[in-house]
Amino acid sequence: MNESFKKVVELLKLEAAAIERTAHILDAAAVEKSIEILACCDSKVIVIGVGKSGVIAQKIAQTLTSTGTIAVFVHPSDALHGSLGVITRGDVVIALSNSGETDEILLLLPTLKTRGTKLISIVGNTNSTLARQSDVVLDASVDKEACPLNLAPTTSTTVALAVGDAIAMTLMQAKNLTPEDFAANHPAGRLGKRLTLRVADLMHASPNVAPDANWLAVVKAISEHALGAVNVVDENDELLGIVTDGDLRRTIEKTAPENLSNLKAAQMMTVSPAVAAPEMLAYDALQLMENRPRQISVLPVVEKNKCVGLLRLHDIVRSGLS
């Protein structure tokens, strides 16, 4: 086996083992109190850290925010030079420090106490100054770093991140965050689009023809609107049927040339087609198109018995929903 590959696998196992160890050494009461404090916070969560811990703190803050808890990363150095104004009474501070002796964080502690903020620390040294001055201490200590010199923060940052993620996910459940709530914070993601993007966001204005329109008028309408179909409506814009490129082609193929001049939209259309409503989720419309014996690529959009649009499979795919 390749030596480099063996080393990578060995280090992955080392970090996985460190997370497993943390799962066994975390104090149950400390975890419960952390969740209670965070769940009861009516303000915001401030996450702080320096260096590599700062990078992990940023990720934890983003995870909290995207899962229903307003959180902000504040660099302790910036806080000491004016950004401290972000931290207000009622906030909860999560501090990350492997040593628990990070100077910039320790300098903030008197001000945090003055402002009455609760302090949760994720530390590698539970006997540190930071740990002693915290309301809750979460033990993220590790036996050794993955670094061959046992110097570069590797295993310790992995464990801190895992603890932060676990807290965020548990808090998310405690707040009963729904898929719809999550999607609202992720409108550009696939899940977000599935739960927020509606037919009205993607549909085109309805390309209408009358039932007595001749075949040439139908051809011109399909070409003009370039949607691959036209809706056949009555004088009240109520849907009678739809004529797709395929319907047009098949009907003309079956019609004798001498009868083409008498061919009308009503003879070409698919009667009582599947339809969508403007407020229907685009994902549901996609399922309506695909989950059928023969897939379709367009849907008339009907609202209050009036045909108001046309939705194409192409538009759903282009939106990134499929």
Residues 248, 297 share a domain: yes
Residues 232 and 278 placed together within one structural domain of the fold: yes
Same domain for 160 and 233? no
Contact yes or no for 171/60 (Cβ under 8 A): no
Q: What is the pLDDT of residue 185?
A: 63
Domain presence at residue 103: yes
- Alpha-carbon Rg for the chain, nearest whole angstrom, is 31
pLDDT at 152: 87
Q: Can you tell me the mean pLDDT for 140-150?
A: 91
Is 93 found in the same domain as 36?
A: yes
Provide the CA 305 distance to its chain's centre, in angstroms. Answer: 34
Question: Count of domains in the chain?
Answer: 2
d(CA 248, CA 261): 14
Q: With 90 as the cut, is the pLDDT of residue 181 above it?
A: no
Please check the confidence at residue 170 and state whether its pLDDT lies above 70. yes
Domain boundary pick from 129, 149, 177: 177
Shared domain check, 219 and 151: no
Question: Whole-number mean pLDDT of the chain?
Answer: 92
| 161 close to 140: Cβ distance less than 8 angstroms | no
Are residues 7 and 142 both part of a single domain? yes
Residues 6+ apart with CB under 8 A from 2: none
Average pLDDT over residues 185-209: 80
The percentage of the chain sitting over the pLDDT mark of 70, rounded to a whole number, equals 95
Please check whether residues 106 and 143 belong to one and the same domain: yes
| Per-residue pLDDT reduced to its tens digit, 30-48 | 999 999 999 999 999 999 9
Query: 189 lies in a domain?
Result: no
Question: Any long-range contacts for 110-116 (C-beta under 8 Å, 24+ apart)?
Answer: 111/84, 111/87, 112/87, 115/87, 115/88, 115/89, 115/91, 116/89, 116/90
In a shared domain, residues 16 and 144: yes
For residue 309, with 0-12 CB atoms within 10 Å meaning exposed, 13-18 middle and 19 or more buried, which class applies? Answer: buried
What is the per-residue pLDDT across 61-110, written as a single tens digit (0 to 9) for each?
A: 999 998 889 999 999 999 998 888 899 999 999 999 999 999 999 999 99
Same domain, 25 and 155: yes
Residues 144 and 207 occupy one common structural domain:
no
Q: Which domain holds residue 226?
A: 196-318
- State the CATH number of the domain containing residue 75: 3.40.50.10490
Same domain as 268, residue 306: yes
Same domain, 146 and 207: no
Q: How many CA atoms lie within 13 A of 201 on its CB side?
A: 17
